[in-house]
Amino acid sequence: MSNKLFNSITVGDLTLPNRMVMAPMTRNRADQDNAPTNLNTKYYQQRAKAGLIITEASQVSAEGVGYPATPGIYNETQVAGWREVTDAVHAEGGHIFLQLWYCGRISHPDLLPDNQTPVAPSAIQPEGDAITFEGPKPFVTPRALETDEIAGIVEQYKHAAGMAKQAGFDGVEVHAANGYLIDQFLRDGSNHRTDQYGGNAENRMHLLNEVLDAVCEVWPAQRVGLRLTPENSFNAMSDSDPQTHFAYFISQLNSRKLAYLHILEGDMISKQRNFDYRSLRDGFDGFYMANNAYDKNRAEESLVNGDCDMVAFGVPFLANPDLVYRYQNDLALNEADQATFYGGDEHGYTDYPFADEASTQSA
User: CA nearest 176: which of 252, 255, 108?
Assistant: 252
Coil, helix or strand at residue 329? coil
Q: Please identify which of the residues 157, 180, 288, 352 carries the catalytic annotation.
A: 180
Q: What are residue 9's DSSP bridge partners? A: 16
User: CA nearest 105: which of 174, 24, 189, 171?
Assistant: 189
Q: Residue 15: how many CB atoms within 10 A of its CB? A: 11
The continuous run of DSSP H or E covering 324 comes out as helix 323-328
Pairing status of strand 260-264 against strand 288-291: parallel
CA distance 209 to 202: 10
Pairing status of strand 20-22 against strand 119-120: unpaired
What is the DSSP track for 59-126? ESSGGG--STT--BSSSHHHHHHHHHHHHHHHHTT--EEEEEE--TTSS-GGGSGGGPPPEESS--PP
Whether residue 180 lies in the annotated active site: yes
CA distance 238 to 302: 27
The continuous run of DSSP H or E covering 164 comes out as helix 150-166
User: CA nearest 177: which of 81, 84, 246, 254?
Assistant: 246
How far is the first Cα of the chain from the last one, in angstroms, to the nearest whole number? 31
Cβ atoms of 307 and 40 within 8 Å: the answer is no
Known catalytic residues are: 180
